[in-house]
Amino acid sequence: MEIKVPQVGESIVEAEIAEWLKKDGDYVEKDDLLLELETEKVNVELNAEASGTLTILAQDGETVKIGAVIGRIDTSAQKTDRAQDADSDKEPQQEEKTTDKETPVGKEEKKEAKSSEKPMNPAVPKIAAERGIDPQQIKGSGRDGRVLVDDIPAEAEQKDQSEEPQKPADTKTQPATKPGADRTERTERVAMSRIRRKIAEHLLKATQETAMLTTFNDADMSRVIALRTSYKEAFLKKYDVPLGFMSFFVKACAEALKNYPEVNASIDGSDILYHHYRDIGVAVGSKRGLVVPVIRDADHLRFDEIETTIRDLAARADSGKLSLDELEGGTFTISNGGIYGSVLSTPLLNPPQSAILGMHAIQERAVVRDGEIVIRPIMNLALSYDHRIIDGQQAVSFLKQVKTYIEAPETLLLKL
């Protein structure tokens, strides 16, 4: 039986073999996890469709086309074949025992040391060694604690200086690196991951192929904060999920999009596609890069359903478990740079979408209310839009509508 690279999306034509989790010649059971493929958008796990002996035809790190045969499973092989292979592997070990006269205690120590080693991707030991890091000390985020390349710190932690005796200062000691030394020795070259290359292409396309413009406003978060504070315990108790700010903005945008269909539309050649549904993407930073999972029909969801969906998507984005369907088809995007401390920024469009809302950090500021200067928690909002399809009046009005919903949540709940 042939193992082929599956079709994971119309726009994806190739994938990279991230790692085989079984070895060439292993006997595998049906549904055993065989390997992980990395595409430009998602990671895909392949399981054995039958039991038999595995033959690997494409190795880790190879780029393969969709539909390519990367391995085979000999379904005629019996499970006992593996035991015979194991016996043949033991024969050289017996010769080594005769030559080296290794004691049973020594063999047990080697066996114990081997079993204590962490599972890791093939590239991890090399990269870790280059950075002066013991790969066995790295906490893995992959399946069964497997250490991935993304888990490797940028540089080794400094050793405790108390471990080494202090040496008297020597004014004649030369600096570790001489001025003017070859900088290539202090430069590390790391190949972009497939998803990082796709992100780069996507963002470059957004700046080169759209007439992007950004309009700004701010929102007084007092009412939302008060509402959230008053009901957060009851909300958590009833729905088993915390009430966050993002659900308010998702609902606000979903309702505002109904009044401004151009902001929810996209350009297809010389046509404008008006989407009569509100599928809102939420930008999520993960170890693999920025991904935008989509909340389907956000205008029909309750606050608890939105919060549950966001948390589930974010968790699976971080572990690389999102499906391609969950990343495609959004009509509008929200990006929250405020969680990283951003106060103001210009978000880039997520083509083919025509608009994106940027949220920012909440700051207490002096503002004028009813002729008096008061302190209020203020969030800056930025709406980037494609001027080819959205006029300034529509963009400004849409952002003002979102601001109104946030500053007066009762109008959002009553859909006024």
Percent pLDDT > 90 in the chain is 41
Give 63 or 281, the one with higher predicted confidence.
Answer: 281
Does the CA dihedral 392-387-327-319 come out positive or negative? negative
Top-level class of domain 210-413: alpha beta
- Which residue in the list 24, 134, 297, 391 is annotated as catalytic? 391
> Is the separation of the CB atoms in 227 and 251 below 8 Å?
no
- What pLDDT is recorded for position 90? 47
Q: Which of 79-83, 249-253, 315-319, 378-382 has the lowest mean pLDDT?
A: 79-83
Residue 161 has pLDDT above 70, yes or no: no
- What pLDDT is recorded for position 86? 52
Mean pLDDT for the chain overall: 82
> Is the separation of the CB atoms in 254 and 280 below 8 Å?
yes
For 115, the 3-state DSSP assignment is helix
Identical fold for domains 2-74 and 101-151, yes or no, is: no
- What pLDDT is recorded for position 248? 96
Boundaries of every domain in the chain: 2-74, 101-151, 210-413
For 210, the 3-state DSSP assignment is coil
Does the active-site annotation cover 391? yes
Top-level class of domain 101-151: few secondary structures
Task: Tell me the pairing of strands 280-282 and 332-336.
Answer: parallel
What average pLDDT does this structure show over 324-349? 91
Most confident segment among 71-85, 244-258, 320-334 = 244-258
- What pLDDT is recorded for position 337? 92
> What's the gap between Cα 390 and its chain centre?
30
Gyration radius of the chain over CA positions: 28
- What pLDDT is recorded for position 234? 95
Record the tokens describing residue 294, joined without a space: 């989509």
> What would the pLDDT profile of 91-138 be if each residue is shown by its tens digit?
555 444 444 444 454 555 554 555 567 777 766 776 777 677 888 888
- What pLDDT is recorded for position 145? 75
Distance from C-alpha of 153 to C-alpha of 315, rounded to nearest angstrom: 21
> What would the pLDDT profile of 1-44 be if each residue is shown by its tens digit?
888 888 776 567 788 888 888 888 889 888 888 888 877 667 78
Most confident segment among 51-55, 188-192, 305-309 = 305-309
> Is the separation of the CB atoms in 148 and 142 below 8 Å?
yes
Distance from C-alpha of 241 to C-alpha of 246, rounded to nearest angstrom: 13
What average pLDDT does this structure show over 51-66? 87
- What pLDDT is recorded for position 163? 45
Distance from C-alpha of 162 to C-alpha of 96, rounded to nearest angstrom: 43
> What would the pLDDT profile of 65-88 be if each residue is shown by its tens digit?
888 899 998 888 777 644 455 545
Fold for 2-74, please state it: OB fold (Dihydrolipoamide Acetyltransferase, E2P) (2.40.50)
> What would the pLDDT profile of 353-411 be if each residue is shown by its tens digit?
999 999 999 999 999 999 999 999 999 999 999 999 999 999 999 999 999 999 999 88
- What pLDDT is recorded for position 97? 46
Distance from C-alpha of 392 to C-alpha of 278, rounded to nearest angstrom: 21
Residue 158 has pLDDT above 60, yes or no: no
- What pLDDT is recorded for position 98? 44
Give 187 or 95, the one with higher predicted confidence.
Answer: 187
- What pLDDT is recorded for position 164? 47
**Residue 239 binned pLDDT confidence (cut-offs 50, 70, 90):** very high
